[in-house]
């Protein structure tokens, strides 16, 4: 692992280059280094991610996510270390989508850890708990549907009115609509006097139309 600091500096230089402006360009850089890291041990890739996470959080997460051996190593300690410093919706969503959610999906992360995040005084960890449900149900992430664990978290946060949490609750439920619409309708009915208006509107629209919002026609 002795060359990892130098490799982290090289990646930082590539990502900080004027040629790497924008998500598409940064993702091309990540893909290049994912290929270079293919033969590395998973522990090395996780260690590299820790070196990158402060300056290039979502790239660090994607490097781990796209290295199967690294993903297997994500236990509670590794996941929470990679989550230190979460401070924006973009950081949280990358963490939930590429790190926490896949680890939970694989049962490497116990349910009680995610529920502890749902009870956190930190809005970003509460959002992370909800975003972690998305890979459970997202086909593109290998999700096959997990109503019980999704609603376990949603039930805990139905009364939360922080805007970042409300939006994540809507996202979690809308993703579950594609797997278990009856369970989502049951959630809305069960919590009819508690669920935020935004959540009810967006999720009801998803149930009825398959879309988040109904487009208005001109004229």
CATH number at residue 211: 1.25.10.90
82 belongs to a structural domain: no
- Is the full-model pTM beyond 0.85? yes
Residue 191 within any structural domain of the chain? yes
Q: Judge if 97 and 56 occupy the same domain.
A: no
Domain presence at residue 40:
yes
In whole angstroms, how far apart are CA 44 and each of 28, 70, 216?
21, 8, 51
Q: In angstroms, rounded to a whole number, what is the distance separating the alpha carbons of residues 162 and 211?
A: 23
Q: How far is CA 65 from the centre of its chain?
A: 11
- Name the domain count of the chain: 2
How far apart CA 170 and CA 201 sit, in angstroms, is: 9
132 and 41 inside one domain: no
Instruction: Write the pLDDT tens digit of every residue in 51-105.
Output: 999 999 999 999 999 998 999 999 999 999 999 999 999 999 999 999 999 999 9
Residues 116 and 178 in one domain: yes
Residue 127 CB-half CA count within 13 A: 24
Nearest Cα residue to 68 out of 106, 24, 94: 106
Is position 206 within any domain? yes
* Residues spanned by the domain of 54: 1-73
Q: In whole angstroms, what is the distance from residue 52 CA to residue 99 CA?
A: 14
């Amino acid at each position: 692992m002795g060359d990892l600091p130098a490799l982290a500096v090289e990646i930082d230089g590539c990502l900080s280059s004027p040629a790497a402006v924008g998500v598409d360009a940064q993702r091309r850089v990540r893909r290049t280094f994912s290929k270079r890291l293919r033969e590395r041990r998973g522990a090395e890739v996780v260690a590299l991610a820790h070196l990158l996470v402060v300056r290039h959080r979502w790239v660090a997460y994607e490097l781990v996510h796209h290295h199967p051996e690294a993903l297997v190593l994500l236990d509670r300690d590794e996941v929470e270390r990679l989550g230190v410093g979460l401070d924006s919706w973009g950081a949280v969503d990358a963490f939930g989508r590429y790190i926490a959610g896949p680890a939970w999906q694989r049962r490497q992360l116990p349910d009680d850890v995610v529920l502890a995040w749902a009870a956190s005084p930190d809005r970003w960890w509460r959002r992370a708990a909800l975003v972690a449900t998305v890979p459970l149900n997202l086909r593109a992430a290998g999700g096959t549907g997990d109503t019980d664990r999704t609603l376990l978290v949603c039930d805990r946060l139905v009364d939360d009115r922080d805007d970042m949490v409300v939006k994540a609750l809507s996202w979690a439920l809308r993703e579950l609509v594609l797997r278990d619409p009856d369970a989502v309708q049951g959630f809305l009915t069960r919590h009819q006097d508690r669920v935020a208006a935004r959540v009810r509107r967006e999720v009801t629209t998803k149930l009825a139309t398959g879309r988040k919002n109904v487009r208005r026609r001109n004229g």
